[in-house]
Structure 1
């Protein structure tokens, strides 16, 4: 392997780092890229992770440079050990992400070794790993990043749960149509953190669908315009398999079409066969599979 330098990230690395990040984002989400500012912001804090990010007490970003070319990079965090920190993160260190060009796996291996040394110096109780970038659906280790998966496996990391990432063209989703159950009505309300459509019979809620229709974060991530995420879909047991879920999807789809949303993401486990079958019937298809919850030692 040619001579390489492993060192802390410098601001002058930002353009090459964004190129490396976007090469990986673009294999998960077609046509999507992140601005340099979006990439840089994650190195300082992650406001989207409003539960976990306040537990972080130290951060570090390391890069590998070969002949002035950035070929690998990693972002590390150390969590506090106070009672307010969740049990899974308390005292732990985490590789928030580690990326390298597929032709530079040897540099990725050297970087991973340096990261583990840094985590040891932080005296963390255990080591976690992920590949969470500031874009929807880009978390865990997607199956379209086999070079990253091999790095983690060779370093002794154990994978956690697999999840399926689904995508649908909004144009292909059902139309709302008439209520499938007599007396069924729908109202649009503010949900916990997104727009909700609640199905009711009289005053009784019997189902809901919740979705986030703007993933641009107020326009700061413009390449995510036209993308949405389905956050929740639930129907009470007595009303399942009677068309209520599909009807709710139709109302959500009609709302997205009005807002010029073109694609919507969804997520489920590979063993959730009913959810996968329902999604496929409505128009979703598999985009990728990702494995999250990597641990070492």
Structure 2
């Protein structure tokens, strides 16, 4: 009898223990199910990062890279046009050139330096002969010039254009003209000092600015009156040609522009003048 009670008690314990194990099992499964559900939910609400579009790569063939060796060659090519400090920087197909001159430059020097610097650098960068046929550049070029520490102006040439665009401020234009006038007066003074036949050379007193250089007056000695007419014409032409050459070289008058030359005796009486159309001189008694 006691044995039966013991067996029944043992079965009760086993049933109780089995129920505990079953409950634990359900908890584990539920817990695992909850974890999976939570993880899935988290994944569902997690923001998706937008793809960043990559910048298109610039192909090597789309611009010509200037090398140090080519810059050195370019410096040597530019030396005959005057001493200067040189700097070049390139960003992809944009090339910036800086030429710094120790002295002021006139308009002609500016254009020569700017044009040659761009064209020569184009030649060097494209591996062509400097003075040969310059191939069309696929770089954009910009040049800035400084003379004696003063900004003189700039020029630019785009790859899709054959033209060089110049940007010269008025201050530079005025500076160049003042320097041209100084050279003109110095040249005329030296010419007067070189001969006893000429007393003085002046611009037209009724005109100002650059216009006054279009009409010139030369005052000569009275030795003029001892010359034959054919000699007077020769002397007048010689004086007129000399004045014209000085003004052309100084830059106050554009090369090839017509000039009116009046020649006077020592008292101011006009004795000869040239024709703007033929260049021939008329002699007055």
Which category describes the TM-score, using the shorter chain as reference length? under 0.3
- The structure having more radius of gyration, on CA atoms, is 2
Structure with the higher fraction of residues in helix conformation? 2
TM-score norm. by structure 2 comes to 0.25
